[in-house]
Amino acid sequence: MVADMPANIVQQEQVGPGQYRLTLYAPVIASCAVPGQFVYIRCTGSLDPMLRRPLSIHGVNRRKGEVLFLYQVVGRGTALLAAKRNGEQLAVMGPLGRGFTLPEPGQRVVLVGGGIGVAPLVFLGHELVQRKNQVCLLVGARSAHQLPVGKEGYTAPFELAVATDDGSCGHHGPVTDLLEKILAGEGADMVYACGPRHMLRQTASLLARFGVPGEFSLEERMGCGVGACLSCVCKTAGKGGEPFRYRRVCVEGPVFPADQLVWD
């Protein structure tokens, strides 16, 4: 069921430089959301900025009816969102989009998050642990203080490894180095990734090289969030001789099979 309704802010807390964790009381969304889905949030009551902002679901507490988000302030919309305080209301539409396909129970799964891209993967990780999957989350960031999760003190019920571009925490280099080591060693049955385009492209080529299936959560600029405006398209494999086909991130995605994506 998709809803559009006001949701109360239960908690808004800063977790890093420009990084926030937001908890909303949104029982309808909490009751039916699956990992990989997103919501479309109005950050302000005024008409400038006007559009809503898409945020992935970072976690749900079905018992309490709460939905969690992890977001980075990048522009006006997210800055307005960050200024909202506990008890204020936001209009939220969701859950939207198609989530991750879950692997067979028992399979070994690697999650690869670039920066704030870990947001949907943490929800997925929790779900997978409950399904008795073996889960390893790899997190990459520019430097230690920009790690959205994976800092000391962050507890997750799954294995965690960190990579930073400047070497200030964990592996010194891109997070895909860690993935490559796993794929070349113990291997994985399935890889899920979310993060910047260059990271996803690199992940896609590793998956192709090692013959491992994967799914990526993509971002594109959105208008309606429900498939009506055709703003949010990404290039995917075409059928019968077409070089590619545009698919809508908001309804056919945001999660796509890695081997279906066309990079150019």
Partner 1 sequence: MAKPNLAVNVAGIRMKNPVTTASGTFGFGSEYAPFVDLNRLGAIVVKGITLLPRQGNPPPRIVETPAGILNAIGLQNPGVDHFIEVALPYLRQFDLPVIVNIAGDTVEDYAALAARLDGVPGVAGLEVNISCPNVKKGGLAFGADPDSAAAVVRAVKGATRLPVVVKLSPNVTSIVRLAEAVVEAGADALSMINTLLGMAIDIRRRCPALANVMGGLSGPAIRPVAVRAVWQVYQALKVPIVGMGGIVTAEDALEFIMAGATAVAVGTANFINPRATMDIIDGIERFLVEEGVPDIQELIGAAHM
Residue 73: CB minimum distance to ligand FAD, A: 6
Among 74, 83, 229, 262, binds ligand FMN (CB under 6 A): 229
Q: Which residue has the tokens 């992935």?
A: 56
**What residues numbered 197-216 form the site for ligand FAD, per CB under 6 A?**
none
221 binds ligand FMN (CB under 6 A): no
Q: How many residues does the chain have?
A: 264
55 marked ligand binding residue: yes
Among 17, 75, 211, 243, binds ligand FAD (CB under 6 A): 75
**C-beta closer to partner 1: residue 158 or 246:** 246
229 marked ligand binding residue: yes
221 binds ligand FAD (CB under 6 A): yes
167 binds ligand FMN (CB under 6 A): no
- Angle subtended at Cα 27 by Cα 25 and Cα 33, rounded to the nearest 5 degrees: 110
E-state strands within the chain: 3-16, 19-25, 38-41, 53-56, 59-61, 66-72, 89-96, 108-114, 134-141, 159-164, 171-172, 190-194, 214-217, 233-236, 245-248, 255-257
Query: What's the helix, strand, coil split of the chain in %, to 5?
Result: 20, 35, 40
List 161's β-bridge partners, or say none. 138
95 binds ligand FAD (CB under 6 A): no
Binding site for ligand FAD (CB under 6 A): 38, 49, 51, 53-56, 69-72, 74-78, 116, 119, 219-222, 249, 254
Binding site for ligand FMN (CB under 6 A): 223, 229
